[in-house]
């Protein structure tokens, strides 16, 4: 059911609809090499195939990881003899330097139109030398409507699809196939084909695909989640930002995505970070409860680990927020990295060795426990930073109000 021309591409209106970049290149027959980047089953190979079909150029497919330099040489020789060849190079992020160096001159002279396909973020995973010579286009997950259209084509196409089979399927069942594969039409088509081939005809000779059959063939909702891919980091980012933004419903959803993907360790680690980075002085007790919840989750494991983690997620999302300590540390680190500090003041330096006093080490140090309130004013920061203030409280709860007041009193304000 792969598209044979650009008009058959499902979705990707931002690339292939009238006036958009790939459509304009095809219409003008002025193609440039490109990288198509997006999740599995969203149409990267389909777009490449459709471009070739619409332009009538020869089309070849190779895999950057498994095909050799010799395979590339064969495609280049074909291009020299017959003209331009469109080469779809799957997993382009795994293209090694030898193959890359071989390809570059042929891209520049226009013999090869390279369409690289990858699920990895090309700005991170692809060598700049090859990336700079290719346009980068993001391919988006298909909507359920897009997938349903593709499934209907498959059900009616007698040549390439299931049109010869007497399939009966209700719209709501077809919608189930379309809506439970997270924008991956390949998974939806595979599940529909499995349902059709594994269902016996009824008394009337019809192959009736029911909701129960659909659920069995799909098993469960496929997660668009790969621990090495963008989706993994996007979910983690959305999880933290939802808690920071006090949206408990969104936070619980992203926690569910992580746990359904088996990412217990990541969920635990992220909750601990969130507790100290985003809640902190706003609700220190919630931070302590998060540590306890993570400990419990690690002890019981999945699936029961979801219970304490859901508690901690809800607790943090609904807590007052404070990033005072996080901001203060970042400012201190910025000073360290730009070399804004200086030597440790002599009265604070180590004096445990013989002769330290002669060097002025620890001379004049005031021991706070010898003073009322266990505090005495003296310089702790290096001379260039002696008046620097990193801790800037913006209280969102009673605890931070208290420590902010204490801080001001200690500073003598």
365-378 tens-digit pLDDT: 999 999 998 988 99
Candidates 261, 307, 311; CA nearest to 290 is: 311
Secondary-structure class of domain 230-317 per CATH: mainly alpha
User: Does 395 have pLDDT greater than 70?
Assistant: yes
Mean pLDDT of the chain: 89
Structure tokens of 56? 């009538």
What pLDDT does residue 227 have? 52
- Percent of the chain residues past pLDDT 70, beyond the cut: 97
Average pLDDT of the segment spanning 187-214: 93
Structure tokens of 264? 């217990």
Residue 180, CA distances (Å) to 138, 156, 188, 259 in order:
22, 22, 8, 18
Interval 330-350: pLDDT, tens: 999 999 999 988 889 988 888
Structure tokens of 262? 């088996």
Confidence of residue 228 (pLDDT cuts 50, 70, 90): low
User: Going along 130-288, which residue ranges are E strands?
Assistant: 135-138, 167-169, 207-209
Residue 224, CA distances (Å) to 40, 122, 212, 235 in order:
8, 18, 23, 10
Q: What is the full DSSP assignment across 171-215?
A: HHHHHHHHHSSTT-HHHHHHHHHHHHHHSPP-TTS-EEE-HHHHH
What pLDDT does residue 159 have? 93
Architecture of domain 144-218: Orthogonal Bundle (1.10)
Average pLDDT of the segment spanning 147-170: 95
Q: Which residues of 154-185 are buried (b: 16+ CB within 10 A; e: fewer)?
A: bbeeeeebbeeeebebeeebbbbbbbbbbbbb
Residue 360 and residue 378: Cα distance in Å, rounded? 16
Residue 127 and residue 15: Cα distance in Å, rounded? 24
CATH code that applies to domain 324-410 = 1.10.3710.10
CATH superfamily to which 6-138 belongs: P-loop containing nucleotide triphosphate hydrolases (3.40.50.300)
pTM, 2 dp = 0.61
Residue 398: its H or E element:
helix 398-410
User: Does 221 have pLDDT greater than 80?
Assistant: no
Interval 259-293: pLDDT, tens: 988 788 899 999 999 999 999 999 999 999 999 99
Structure tokens of 250? 């969104």
Q: How many CB atoms lie within 10 A of CB 303?
A: 10
Lowest mean pLDDT among 97-101, 114-118, 221-225: 221-225
Residue 371 and residue 85: Cα distance in Å, rounded? 84
Structure tokens of 237? 């980012």
Residue spans per domain, the chain = 6-138, 144-218, 230-317, 324-410
Q: Which residue has the tokens 């993907």?
A: 261
């Amino acid at each position: 059911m792969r598209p044979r021309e650009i008009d058959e591409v499902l979705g990707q209106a931002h690339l292939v609809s009238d006036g958009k970049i790939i459509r304009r290149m095809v219409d003008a027959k002025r193609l440039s090499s490109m990288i198509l980047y997006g999740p599995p089953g969203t149409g990267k190979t389909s777009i490449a195939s459709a471009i070739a079909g619409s332009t009538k150029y020869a089309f070849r497919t190779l895999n950057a990881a498994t095909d050799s330099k010799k395979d590339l040489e064969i495609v280049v020789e074909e291009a020299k003899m017959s003209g331009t060849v469109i080469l779809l190079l799957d997993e382009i992020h795994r293209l090694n330097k030898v193959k890359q160096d071989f390809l570059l001159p042929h891209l520049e002279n226009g013999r090869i139109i390279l369409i690289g396909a990858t699920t990895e973020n090309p700005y991170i995973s692809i060598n700049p030398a090859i990336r700079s010579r290719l346009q980068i286009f993001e391919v988006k997950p298909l909507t359920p409507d897009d997938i349903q259209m593709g499934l209907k084509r498959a059900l009616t196409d007698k040549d390439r699809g299931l049109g010869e089979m007497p399939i009966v399927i209700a719209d709501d069942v077809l919608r189930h196939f379309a809506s439970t594969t997270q924008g991956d039409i390949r998974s939806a088509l595979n599940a529909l084909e499995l349902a059709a081939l594994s269902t016996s005809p009824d008394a009337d000779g019809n192959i009736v695909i029911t909701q129960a059959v659909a659920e069995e063939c799909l098993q469960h909702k496929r997660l668009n989640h790969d621990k090495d891919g963008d989706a993994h980091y996007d979910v983690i980012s959305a999880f933290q930002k939802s808690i920071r933004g006090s949206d408990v419903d969104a936070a619980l959803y992203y926690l569910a995505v992580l746990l359904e993907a088996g990412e217990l360790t990541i969920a635990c680690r992220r909750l601990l970070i969130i507790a100290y980075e985003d809640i902190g002085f706003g609700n220190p007790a919630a931070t302590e409860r998060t540590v306890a919840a993570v400990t419990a989750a690690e002890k019981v494991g999945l699936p029961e680990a979801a219970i304490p983690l859901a508690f901690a997620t809800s607790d943090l999302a609904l807590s007052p927020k404070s990033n005072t300590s996080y901001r203060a540390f970042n400012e201190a680190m910025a000073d360290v990295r730009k070399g804004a500090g200086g030597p440790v003041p002599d009265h604070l330096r180590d004096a445990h060795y013989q002769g330290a006093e002669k060097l002025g080490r620890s001379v004049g140090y005031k021991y706070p426990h010898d003073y009322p309130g266990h505090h005495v004013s003296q310089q702790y920061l290096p001379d260039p930073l002696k008046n620097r203030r990193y801790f800037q409280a913006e209280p969102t709860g009673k605890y931070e109000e208290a420590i902010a007041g204490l801080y001001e009193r200690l500073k003598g304000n």
